Chains A and B, each alone.
Chain A
């Protein structure tokens, strides 16, 4: 893959492109934010064994399906990166579209879950478990939304043949959102 550096960067001191390095440091800050939240949750979960009963009200099937959706959207975005490196920008754009679709499906399922849970009376203020559930999944859903906006911007640009190297960068971010979900799913759904 060839990429053009920004005009003000004439020389790079490591083999990692500046944009990708920036993305990794951004993810480092996200790791401590999300990781901090997960750490706090794990501590409280340890202190309150009785939360197992409450987490049995989350819908394992919906969470599992959403995991599958996110894993698949991760696959399509990394295949888009591969397509860019082979010069197939059209295919990359199509694969990015699939990733966007995955994100949309994920959010729809999440909305369905929230409505179901709220109808059952499991509101955020009902107990600490549900406060954590809505905070963590809500923050994650915001990240999904943010990732979708970023991917949509890159998709539009790639269609016009511009900034193809950013496909890789938004991909890395999207995988991070996937990894967070990989941990949220057992933490909030499976340990009942």
Chain B
């Protein structure tokens, strides 16, 4: 009874697992490609899609009320602030000031 499963918050888990495994194979194949920037963007796009599938369906984030989503995204927003504030010092500034 697939339809009632979905209504009860249980999507077809095996199908989602199939997509995840396919995505894994795709990223493994891409690792062999010789286009560095394209590969990087693709591999991490696939990783984000995989993470979203796990979070949305396995962790039921898709079925939770909005404020639970907000909890997760607040954490990610903090990390974004941290990342932006650290880039000038950790990536560029220190590299030019102190040699390896």
- Do the two chains touch directly in the complex (Cβ atoms below 8 Å apart)? yes
Bound-state Cα–Cα, A172 to B57, Å: 11
The answer to whether B75 touches A64, judged by C-beta atoms less than 8 angstroms apart, is no
Bound-state Cα–Cα, A14 to B71, Å: 15
Bound-state Cα–Cα, A113 to B1, Å: 43
The answer to whether A75 touches B31, judged by C-beta atoms less than 8 angstroms apart, is no
The answer to whether B13 touches A79, judged by C-beta atoms less than 8 angstroms apart, is yes
- Interface membership of chain A positions 73-102, coded 1 if the CB is closer than 8 angstroms to chain B and 0 otherwise: 011001100100100000000000000000
Residues from chain A with a CB closer than 8 A to the CB of B10 are 82, 85
A146 interface hit (Cβ, 8 Å): no
The answer to whether A67 touches B24, judged by C-beta atoms less than 8 angstroms apart, is yes
Residues from chain A with a CB closer than 8 A to the CB of B78 are 32
Bound-state Cα–Cα, A39 to B79, Å: 7
A3 interface hit (Cβ, 8 Å): no
B interface, by DSSP: helix, strand, loop or mixed? helix
- Interface membership of chain B positions 59-100, coded 1 if the CB is closer than 8 angstroms to chain A and 0 otherwise: 110001101100110111011001100110011101100000
The answer to whether A182 touches B47, judged by C-beta atoms less than 8 angstroms apart, is yes
The answer to whether B68 touches A190, judged by C-beta atoms less than 8 angstroms apart, is no
The answer to whether A71 touches B68, judged by C-beta atoms less than 8 angstroms apart, is no
Given contacts A28-B75, A31-B75, A190 and B27 within 8 Å (CB-CB): yes
Residues from chain A with a CB closer than 8 A to the CB of B8 are 85
What is the size, in residues, of chain B's interface with A at 8 Å between Cβ atoms? Answer: 46
The answer to whether B51 touches A60, judged by C-beta atoms less than 8 angstroms apart, is no
Bound-state Cα–Cα, A88 to B78, Å: 41
Contact pick for A64, options B28, B54, B86, B95, CB 8 Å: B28
The answer to whether B72 touches A31, judged by C-beta atoms less than 8 angstroms apart, is yes
Bound-state Cα–Cα, A15 to B9, Å: 14
Residues from chain B with a CB closer than 8 A to the CB of A14 are 65, 67
Given contacts A47-B95, A74-B54, A183-B47, A39 and B82 within 8 Å (CB-CB): yes
Given contacts A43-B90, A46-B91, A25 and B13 within 8 Å (CB-CB): no
A35 interface hit (Cβ, 8 Å): yes
Given contacts A31-B76, A35-B76, A39-B79, A25 and B17 within 8 Å (CB-CB): no
Given contacts A75-B14, A175-B55, A28 and B79 within 8 Å (CB-CB): no
Could you write out 18 A-B pairs with CB less than 8 Å apart? Answer: A14-B65, A24-B71, A24-B72, A28-B71, A28-B74, A31-B76, A35-B76, A46-B87, A47-B92, A68-B24, A78-B13, A79-B13, A171-B59, A175-B55, A178-B58, A182-B54, A183-B51, A190-B27
* 8 closest A-B pairs by CB: A31-B75, A75-B17, A190-B31, A35-B79, A43-B90, A175-B58, A175-B59, A78-B58
